[in-house]
């Protein structure tokens, strides 16, 4: 390596390290604050960065006042059913749109594209009115409701099926499998990586959703992590160690999953791109 190249590489690393640390500051601060006492967190002269004694009081307090097990359960159920619904319906439709030529498919698919282009707030009031008319607020079904089908998932799976080679399908058909069986037995297993991508995408955005859970599930036993945090902030206004402890407890599982399944996470969200 020439001298100039080495210097360039050094500069690039310095820039990247500084940027990375800046990106991490909020997470560090969340972590450090959560182990402070309230007095320590509001001390400015001198300003405290690292807690003197790592106090776990904030954690004890939030674990006592908030039922995190229940919040996790509600959130996981919502995510689980949203994934199942999105994967099943989108795979079916994706296969049909990607591989079958049939009358009406063009107009049906334009409906899918149309939905993807419309901001989701336009659907929310009537969706809420339906849930409330059915008497189903404060249920898992209410949380899953807007995600029963997925236009975006359909779009993604259509692309996945479209690029599969033709011969496998033809061989299966010659062996006497009908279209339904060919889809389930031969084609669907070939889209595993896309299905995983769709699942992760669905999970992340369901986990991050705030407005819909806040609207339909207001009872304290049916909150999800996001809406519980929002509610908590109102009650603990300036008790930042508690707020940070609760935030961290709510974020840790997703962050751990991300660190373990990084490649799938990044692919899942990159292949998608679309987030309306």
Partner 1 sequence: MKQQNLRHTTTRNAFFWGWVLILPTMVGLVILNIYPMIKTVYQSFCKTGDFGRGNIFIGTANYAKVFSDPVVWQATLNTFKYMIVEVPFSVIIALFFAVLLNKNIMGKSIYRTIFFLPMVAAPAAIAMVWRWLFNSQFGLINNVFHISTHWISDPSIAVYSIALIGIWSDIGYNMILFLAGLQEVPREYYEASSIDGTNGFQKFHYITVPMISPTIFFVLVTRIIAAMQVFDLIYMIMDRSNPALSKTQSLVYLFYQYSFVQKNFGYGSTIVVLLLMFIMVITVFQMFAQKKWVHYN
Stretch that binds partner 1, among 12-20, 56-64, 134-142, 163-171 (CB under 8 A): 12-20
Least Å from the CB of residue 221 to partner 1:
19
Residue list 190-229, contact with partner 1 (CB under 8 A) = 204, 207-208, 210-211, 214-215, 225-227, 229
Using DSSP's 3-state secondary structure scheme, residue 203 falls into helix
Q: What is the DSSP letter of 275?
A: -
Residue 125 makes contact with partner 1 by CB under 8 A: yes
**How far is Cα 215 from Cα 235, in angstroms, rounded to an integer?**
18
Q: Which of 35, 152, 183, 201 binds partner 1 (CB under 8 A)?
A: 183
Q: Does 65 bind partner 1 (CB under 8 A)?
A: no
Determine contact, residues 74/224, Cβ cutoff 8 Å: yes
Residues near partner 1 (CB under 8 A), total: 99
Does residue 42 interact with partner 1 by CB under 8 A? yes
Q: What x/- string results for residues 159 through 178 when contact with partner 1 is judged by CB under 8 A?
A: -------------------x
251 part of the interface to partner 1, by CB under 8 A: yes
CB of 94 to partner 1, least distance (A): 9
The Cα-based distances of 38 to 49, 53, 148, 183 in angstroms read 13, 12, 44, 59
Residue 160 · residue 191 · CB < 8 Å: yes
Give the number of other Cβ atoms within 10 Å of residue 20's Cβ.
9
Confirm or reject binding of residue 250 to partner 1 (CB under 8 A): yes
The binder of partner 1 chosen from 16, 134, 171, 185 (CB under 8 A): 16
Residue whose tokens read 């409701």: 145
**Tokens found for residue 73:** 């359960």
Rounded CA separation 252/41 (Å): 22
The DSSP result for 57-71, as a single string, is HHHHHHHHHS-HHHH
The SS3 assignment for 274 reads coil
CB of 56 to partner 1, least distance (A): 19
Which parts of 132-161 interact with partner 1 (CB under 8 A)? 145-146, 148-151, 154
With CB under 8 A as the contact rule, the residue among 18, 24, 84, 185 that binds partner 1 is 24
């Amino acid at each position: 390596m020439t001298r100039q190249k080495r210097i360039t590489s050094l500069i690039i690393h310095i820039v990247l390290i500084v940027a990375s640390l800046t990106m991490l500051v909020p997470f560090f601060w969340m972590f450090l604050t959560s182990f402070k006492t309230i007095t320590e967190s509001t001390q400015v002269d001198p300003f405290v960065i690292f807690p003197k004694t790592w106090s776990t009081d904030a954690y004890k307090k939030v674990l006592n006042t908030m039922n995190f097990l229940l919040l996790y359960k509600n959130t996981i159920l919502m995510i689980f059913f949203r994934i199942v619904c999105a994967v099943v319906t989108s795979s079916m439709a994706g296969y049909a749109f990607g591989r079958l030529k049939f009358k009406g498919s063009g107009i049906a698919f334009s409906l899918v594209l149309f939905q993807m282009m419309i901001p989701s707030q336009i659907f929310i009031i009537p969706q809420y009115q339906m849930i409330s008319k059915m008497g189903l607020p404060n249920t898992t079904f209410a949380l899953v409701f807007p995600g029963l089908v997925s236009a975006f998932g359909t779009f993604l799976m259509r692309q996945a099926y479209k690029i599969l080679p033709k011969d496998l399908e033809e061989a299966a058909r010659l062996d006497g499998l009908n279209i339904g069986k060919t889809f389930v037995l031969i084609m669907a297993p070939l889209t595993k990586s896309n299905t995983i991508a769709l699942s992760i995408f669905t999970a992340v955005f369901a986990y991050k959703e705030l407005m819909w859970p806040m609207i339909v599930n207001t009872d304290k036993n049916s909150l999800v992590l996001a809406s519980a945090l929002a509610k908590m902030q109102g009650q603990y206004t300036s008790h930042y160690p508690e707020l940070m402890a609760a935030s961290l407890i709510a974020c840790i599982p997703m962050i751990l999953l991300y660190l373990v399944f990084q490649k799938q996470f990044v692919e899942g969200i990159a292949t998608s791109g679309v987030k309306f």
